[in-house]
Amino acid sequence: MDHLLPGPKTAVSRRPTGLGRFGEYGGRFVPESLVPACAEVEQAFTDAWADPLFRAELRHVLAIYVGRPTPVTPAARLSAELGVNLLLKREDLAHTGSHKINNVLGQALLARRMGKRRLIAETGAGQHGVATATAGALLGMPTTVLMGERDIERQQLNVFRMTMLGAEVIPVTSGTRTLKDACSEALRHWVTSVEDSYYCLGSAMGPHPYPWMVREFQRVIGDEARTQCAADLATGTPDFVVACVGGGSNAAGTFAGFVDTPALLVGVEAAGGAAISAGSPGVLHGFRSKVLQDEHGQIAEAHSIAAGLDYPGVGPEHAYLADLGRASYVCVDDAEVLAATHRLARTEGILCALESAHAVAWVIRAAGDGTIPPDATVLLTLSGRGDKDMATLMELS
């Protein structure tokens, strides 16, 4: 882990330049039909984000509906076993059970402000779909969720939750029938309904302005955690800030709060979906970033036990942070993730999502091999709770 560089005070986590550029990544690679729609979202978000009333409204909803701020919980017993000071930022306690709701409520309020009447979303694990269905119910907006057939099979509980919340779940049968195909289908769906529909994208990826906007809606995780750490820690900031990376929204939001501190930022990818660790520059779903692909430019299939990390790309800002050396990206395999899930449950009484367990697994490994020095403070974003994964875990045990 000698590539873990100390954090330079680089001007990152700002607004992207030009047409959504984070260095050479980002951009807006969408069919012409969708360019005006993306431009409309960009304009609306720029206005809203500069409007104190919009910000206050979002803050209010996050407080009274989502239950923010979420606590930072010291993982006392696991910390003692590992010899480090591990703190958990508890996004699993947010309403609907993951950080996805932060972004969704921001976008749904934006959609309403834009006069849109329907919401469209893609989903992998179903957490973003559930969050969007929830926002749709809360604001009275009909919601359509595109979900790969294979994910529907392995996340049945979340499919049922979405239906309960009144959303329509459309199975996606093309390609690998997972998140990447759901993303393509959501873009196709949006093209046909752009007049009255708002595309509520679930991670810090996609065409400009989504990577930037989603990070801004998720930065509440990092901003809160920073304040909470400042109040609780003698040092003020943690030594390590760790989050799992699928598309990269919980990590982007977490990192945004610490990018100008000396904390080492670590994003943990699934070994079978490690776009940064194993990918190369490419264009997928409207943006340029690191993607898993073959020599011809065909996108490869990702494989992870965690449906939410089963994506061959990664948000452009992460590719940029990796190139700059401001954040490090590592990966863990399914076996480490399962072990970490069990260990966190037994030591802390927290059943976390398999996605979040990637971050836990890396901390366990890194504390063991000395990458995280003894007594270092680690802030880990626990992005979601594990209820949705119980069927998977039951099958495996």
Partner 1 sequence: MNALETRTRAARDAGRKLLLPYVTGGVTDDWGDLLRAAVDAGADAIEIGFPFSDPTLDGPVIQQSSDQALRRGATTRRILDEIARVAPPVPVIAFSYANLVLRPGADAYCAALADAGVGGLIVPDLPVDEMAPVAAAAQAHALDLALLAAPSTPLRRCADIARRSRGFVYAVSLMGTTGARSRPHESARELVRCLREETDLPVVLGFGIAAPGQAAEAAGYADGIAVGSALMRRLLDGATTAQLGAFLAQLRAALEPAG
Q: Is 194 in the site for partner 1 (CB under 8 A)?
A: yes
Give the end-to-end CA distance of the chain in Å, rounded to a whole number: 32
Whose Cβ is closer to ligand PLP: residue 76's or residue 390's? 390
Q: How far is the CB of 70 from partner 1 (least distance, A)?
A: 35
Q: Which is nearer to partner 1, 5 or 35 (CB)?
A: 35
**Where does the chain show beta strands of DSSP type E?**
21-22, 25-26, 72-74, 85-90, 118-123, 143-148, 168-172, 197-199, 240-244, 264-270, 280-284, 287-291, 327-332, 377-382
**Tokens, residue 328:** 């490090």
125 near ligand PLP, rule: CB under 6 A: yes
Q: Is 383 a catalytic residue?
A: yes
Q: What letter represents residue 145's amino acid?
A: V
- For position 27 contacting ligand PLP by CB under 6 A, the verdict is no
Binding of residue 369 to partner 1 (CB under 8 A): no
- C-beta of 40: minimal distance to partner 1 in Å? 10
Residue 316, binding choice from partner 1, ligand PLP, none, Cβ under 5 to 8 Å by partner class: none
Tell whether residue 308 is a contact of ligand PLP (CB under 6 A). Answer: yes
Q: How far is CA 204 from the centre of its chain?
A: 7
Q: Which two tokens stand for residue 178?
A: 């997972």
Using rule CB under 6 A, residue 246 touches ligand PLP: yes
* 291, amino acid identity: V
- Per the annotation, the verdict on 203 as an active-site residue is no
Residue range at the interface with partner 1 (CB under 8 A); choices 88-96, 154-162, 270-278, 283-291: 283-291
Owner of token pair 């993303």: 183
Q: Is 180 a catalytic residue?
A: no
Q: Is 307 exposed, middle or buried (0-12, 13-18, 19+ CB in 10 A)?
A: buried
CB within 8 Å of 186: residues ≥ 6 apart:
120, 121, 122, 146, 199, 201
Shortest spacing between CB 293 and partner 1, in angstroms: 7
Backbone angles phi, psi at 16, to 5 degrees: -65, 160
CB of 273 to ligand PLP, least distance (A): 10
Judged by CB under 8 A, does residue 324 bind partner 1?
no
Catalytic residues: 100, 122, 383
Residues within the interface to partner 1 (CB under 8 A): 19, 27-37, 174-175, 180-181, 184, 187-188, 191-192, 194-195, 281-286, 288, 291, 293, 295-299
